[in-house]
Amino acid sequence: MPKLTGVKKINVAVFISGNGSNLKNLINYSLKKNSKFKISLIISNKSYAKGLDYAKKFKIKKKIINYLNIKNAEKDIITKLKKYKIDLICLAGFMKILSINFIKNFNGKIINIHPSLLPKYKGLNTHQRAIDNKEKYSGCTVHYVNSKLDSGRIILQKKVKILKADNSNKLAKRVLKQEHLLYPKALKKVLINL
Ligand code: GRF
């Protein structure tokens, strides 16, 4: 009798530092029928990151990384990535900058979600800066990670209109909703080319 083997899923690691709403969203997406990927590992540089709760809830391996020394931290990360045979890294609110060496090692295999319409507003406080500059739109971008901060090739973007009554919190909430739609779409696109 021929063996009935399922199609092998792409193993994804998600790196977080905080709430993990994008992580949760990606997990839910990965559990859908016909999904091509599996979240096999959650990496956090914060032991108290709320997003780590999803590791327990969804029975996903997690690793908290001590970042006192970046070399050791990245060594620990690489050990886990190898152990769980990770094919792709999704950064989702991960507040550490990966070294050039690390990025080179995983060239084309790290993606990130950023809360602005890149190349505008790289770095932090993106929504406040967009409001202060009287932009009509803010938004979010999923992009490949390269050695320059928030500068890798763009995969997908979504615009969000800035309203008169907006402050950065209100705007961030609306953008986050769009992030939850955008990240799975972008991931799907990336998986096709992996
Ligand atoms: C998101 O706005 C993401 O774009 C940014 O950090 C935030 C993370 O949110 N990089 P969450 O932890 O996924 O809820």
Residue 54 pLDDT: 98
Give nearest CA residue, ligand 1 atom 6: 93
Give nearest CA residue, ligand 1 atom 2: 115
* β-strand pairing of 110-114 with 137-144: antiparallel
- The pLDDT profile of the chain, 194 residues, written as one tens digit per residue, is 555 556 789 999 999 999 999 999 999 999 999 999 999 999 999 999 999 999 999 999 999 999 999 999 999 999 999 999 999 999 999 999 999 999 999 999 999 999 999 999 999 999 999 999 999 999 999 999 999 999 999 999 999 999 999 999 999 999 999 999 999 999 999 999 88
Contact 18, 49 (CB under 8 A): yes
State how far the Cα of 49 lies from the Cα of 139, in Å rounded to an integer.
24
Cα 177 to ligand 1 centre (Å)? 11
pTM equals 0.96
Ordered domains of the chain (ranges, CATH): 8-107 (3.40.50.170), 116-183 (3.40.50.170)
